[in-house]
Amino acid sequence: MSVNSKQPSTPRTATRALPLLLVIPACALIASIVLWLILSPLLPNQIARHVGPDGVGYSPTILVLAVLFGAAAVPFLIGVAQEQASSNSVAMGLLGFLLLFIAAAIAYSALLPRAEPEPAPC
């Protein structure tokens, strides 16, 4: 009878995934900040944040970007101990979150109308 059962993860197995779980979110956060620094002169002061029956709602660009930077920082705040979860479950959860976030950002930028400045009251 062969032993094909899955063995419990050892500390070595758990520590192999740790760099991946820290490096990828750190790269995403750093890339976001670098892109913002490069593209900030080209960004409008306000961008569309909501489209509904009442029309388009606008927010300051810096507020929307703060939410995006906060989402990129969330993986650092998860705080799951190595003994509580396997590296595969955490990695798959983060990958799913990342892919969903990318899809939502693409849909947001493709489907919403471009922001137009409102005329100033005289």
Q: In whole angstroms, what is the distance from residue 15 CA to residue 53 CA?
A: 50
Percent of the chain with pLDDT over 90: 1
pTM: 0.45
Q: Is the model's pLDDT at 36 over the cut of 80?
A: yes
Map the chain to HEC letters: CCCCCCCCCCHHHHHHHHHHHHHHHHHHHHHHHHHHHHHHHHCCCEEEEEEECCEEEEEEHHHHHHHHHHHHHHHHHCCCCCCCCCHHHHHHHHHHHHHHHHHHHHHHHHHCCCCCCCCCCC
Q: In terms of pLDDT, which residue wins out, 22 or 31?
A: 31
d(CA 55, CA 84) in angstroms, rounded, equals: 46
Least confident of 7-16, 52-61, 89-98, 110-119: 7-16
pLDDT at 84: 64
Q: Which pLDDT tens digit goes with each residue over 76-85?
A: 776 766 566 5
